[in-house]
Structure 1
Amino acid sequence: MTPFLSRCYASRGAEHVELIAAALCADRQDYELLVIEALSDKGYQFYWSGTVLPATSWVKQYPAEAAYAVALARSVNEGRQRVALGAMTRQPGSRDVAEDDKWLQIETLGPFTPLDAQFSVYPKKTVPNMLRETLFGQPDPTKAERDEFGDHTPPLATYAVLDAAKMPYLLTSFLEDSGLRYQSLFQGKAQEELAEHAPYLVELTEDNHFTCRLFTGPDGIGGLWEKELGIFLRCRAGFDALRKHLRKFIRLQDADGRWFYFRFWEQRYAHCFFSTACAETHWMMMVTQEHSLAVICPKGSSIIIAHAHRSVEHTNIIASKPTEEWVAGLAEEESNRAFQNKLIDKFIFSNSKYGHIEHEKAQEIVKILLEQAQGYGFESEYALSTYVSVALELSQFPAENECYRKLLESAKHPDTKAELMLKSIVYAKGDADD
């Protein structure tokens, strides 16, 4: 066995760090097992290492860090210390969970299956069993609610914000026939002109046939679940107070003073708007000084539930009305996250070499690689995804390879660089197969 070195990346909650680690071992696999155990003892989870080389080779490749790395390598031995972890450097964007973040709690339920035709089922369900308590249960009032209302705490009602634009002329007919209380979030001239494309607030009851249709999938009769019509809310404030509050941010202004509609009910992005512990989310989820929201956002075959809690400790949290920049920023983050997940599924979870990695760690690996690629001017999805695939195939950062580093630092167009990197990997794999 010989001392090996590498730059490693690990996390603990929202804190992400990098460090140089030395281990007395036989190969990369042995190295990572030892480092994983050592980091785990300190409460960190390992998720990536760069080039793993014998110490003599590693310090030649990274002379700027040679003195420090050699000291680490010399400290490992076959006795009680086969691993030496260097100083941990917190990565940009890393943070501890702040106390003020605790006003917002996020829960994920699923995967679940929407209702089917329910032949031979009696009584028929109106919501899947997994979602019933979340949607129609009556939990005990919180301490803040008991302090505020005593023995007269209002019941927790269930609402939906549904988008008529997804089913023009049909959704409004369904609502009219449902017998449920509903009202557009638009009013005046906007409602007159956009009635069939407006968002509607609907107070749901568990025993209603329209409620059943909302949670019925394509295997049922008249199911609406696949239409992705909107989101669900729970609140004690009452219909009128909730509608008044939602109308406050139905339209927002951009930096130039122009108005636009904020489609906060859109399922693709709703979980971002309501599960980010920030001043804007706090403003949206506090309906009144006494009443807060729980927002239930469908996402694929699961749902994300964001609970806002009002308590004495959180009365000093600054609230701020959402802005166009805030909405655009979160939407861009979600698009980036979707792209990252696409790369994770394609290049990590489909690869037996990396299939054991947890999703959170895979996200951090891909995030690091994308930031590197962008640092070399890569912008297109093709170039970014190619950089990630090459790095994973090499099991090292491309810039740590002299040939790839020269290519990355060249004046060629980023897409051309990506194409040449990919061809090099393909040729190398072909030679290896031969």
Structure 2
Amino acid sequence: MDAQAAVMDPADDVRYDRIEVRPLDRQFGAHPALSIPPGMSEIVFGRVNGSDPAPLTYALFDAARVEGLAERLVAAAIPHDCLVRGPSRDEFGAVSPWLVELRADSRLCRDLFTAGDARWELWGREAYVLMRSHHELAGLVDHLRHFTKLRDSKGQWHFFRFQEPLVMRTIVMGLPDHARRSFLAPFQRVIVPDRSDVLHLFDIRLDGVSGR
């Protein structure tokens, strides 16, 4: 892993690092199998800017890019929820954002960082972003649900697909201050993978105070 510290600052209250990652392979014969690439555990599960305790880690999935995501999460028995509720969930759940509490030693964590052709090997597929927060799952779901739809200048509603890595990077780096700060308020870190074996790491310091 090669970390290049603070190569740019998208905003005064966001610090940006670009982290090169060597993803996991299928680890045939390895025991115990790794759940996360060497050197990445502190970034994904450790403290953020000295915060104590460390924030929880969540995976925000784009269900459209993960075959059978809902069934897989139920089978794994890990905390999760879809950001779309009511009748719309039945219709759009398979292409909607899902928020999942990520555990460091879980099979799901291993799959996120494993490159390959199997449907469960998700590295490089732009299927998720990682978000660190001291808030519990239910509160974050309620917060993010406010942003799943946006109204355009003609009054028409559109789905806002912030679960897509490129859209998330645009939010952190390109939105006007008020909108960006409103979206990021519960989070201390956002981690966005891309196809080139890179993690884009954004540490959030709203109001100049880490962890707020």
Q: Please, what TM-score do these two structures have when normalized by structure 2? A: 0.84
Displacement after TM superposition at 1:221 (Å): 8.8
1:139–1:272 distance in 2 versus 1, CA, 3 Å: closer
- 1:131 and 1:120 map into 2 onto residues whose CA distance is 22
* 2:130 aligned residue (209, 224, 232): 232
Contact 1:106 1:305 in 2 (8 A): yes
Counterpart code for 2:153? A
Alignment of 1:32-431 (within 5 A): 101-110=11-20, 112-139=21-48, 141-142=50-51, 155-168=54-67, 170-218=68-116, 222-276=120-174, 278-279=176-177, 280-287=179-186, 292-300=187-195, 301-311=197-207
Bigger-Rg structure (1/2): 1
Does the residue aligned with 2:24 lie in a helix, a strand or coil?
coil
Write the deviation string for residues 251-294 of structure 1: whole angstroms up to 9, x where unpaired. 1110111111100111233212223373121111112xxxx331
Bigger helix share: 1
Counterpart code for 2:123? W
Write the deviation string for residues 301-331 of structure 1: whole angstroms up to 9, x where unpaired. 10111111134689xxxxxxxxxxxxxxxxx
Does the residue aligned with 1:257 lie in a helix, a strand or coil?
coil
Bigger strand share: 2
> What's the RMSD between the two structures over aligned residues?
2.6
Displacement after TM superposition at 1:140 (Å): 6.1
- 1:131 and 1:283 map into 2 onto residues whose CA distance is 28
Contact 1:116 1:220 in 2 (8 A): no
Does the residue aligned with 2:141 lie in a helix, a strand or coil?
helix
Displacement after TM superposition at 1:226 (Å): 3.5
Displacement after TM superposition at 1:220 (Å): 7.6
Counterpart code for 1:120? G
Contact 1:249 1:262 in 2 (8 A): yes
Task: State the partner residue of 1:62.
Answer: none
- 1:313 and 1:234 map into 2 onto residues whose CA distance is 16
Displacement after TM superposition at 1:154 (Å): 5.2
Q: Please, what TM-score do these two structures have when normalized by structure 1? A: 0.43
- 2:98 and 2:146 map into 1 onto residues whose CA distance is 15
1:185–1:138 distance in 2 versus 1, CA, 3 Å: same
Contact 2:115 2:122 in 1 (8 A): yes
Does the residue aligned with 2:81 lie in a helix, a strand or coil?
strand
1:220–1:257 distance in 2 versus 1, CA, 3 Å: closer
1:206–1:238 distance in 2 versus 1, CA, 3 Å: same
Contact 2:48 2:54 in 1 (8 A): no
Task: Give me the identity figure in percent.
Answer: 26
Aligned residues: 202
Contact 2:148 2:160 in 1 (8 A): yes
Displacement after TM superposition at 1:225 (Å): 1.6
Counterpart code for 2:28? F
- 2:199 and 2:106 map into 1 onto residues whose CA distance is 21
Task: State the partner residue of 2:3.
Answer: none
- 2:112 and 2:131 map into 1 onto residues whose CA distance is 14
More contact order relative to length (CA 8 Å, sep ≥ 6): 2
1:277–1:186 distance in 2 versus 1, CA, 3 Å: closer
Contact 1:106 1:275 in 2 (8 A): no
Contact 2:124 2:193 in 1 (8 A): no
- 1:211 and 1:159 map into 2 onto residues whose CA distance is 10
- 2:188 and 2:161 map into 1 onto residues whose CA distance is 18
Counterpart code for 1:256? K
